[in-house]
Amino acid sequence: MSQPEIDITEFKRVEMRVGKVVKAERVPATDRLLRLEVDFGGQKKQAITGLGHLYGPEHFEGKLYVFVTNLKPRKVRGLVSECMILAAMTSEEKIIPIAPEAEIEPGAGVQ
């Protein structure tokens, strides 16, 4: 908790949505990177995540997770990452992706 406090209007600039991972695969020649194809209720985006050392692609496929969806795209190993999965973390060996408690439509906003 070492970050400075922010105003609620600053927080509201971060768009978080529930996305359903429709496809997941390892990024070739890497140990950590996974490519996730995520459906946000008709709009699909790609996420490149560094969780491959803890989870295989099958862990994500068909499941709902919370993503930040309004980040500027960035290239990772030649692939464009358009969103970011949210996760709780206590160490590099304990990272838990954030998932909704109950079934909800892909694209639902998170507040």
Domains in the chain (CATH in brackets) are 12-97 (2.40.50.140)
pTM (two decimals): 0.92
What DSSP designation does 109 have?
Answer: B
How far apart are the C-alpha atoms of 36 and 58, rounded to whole Å? 11
Give the residues across from 20 on adjacent strands.
39, 64
Tens digits of residue pLDDT in 58-111: 999 999 999 999 999 999 999 999 999 999 999 999 999 999 999 999 999 998
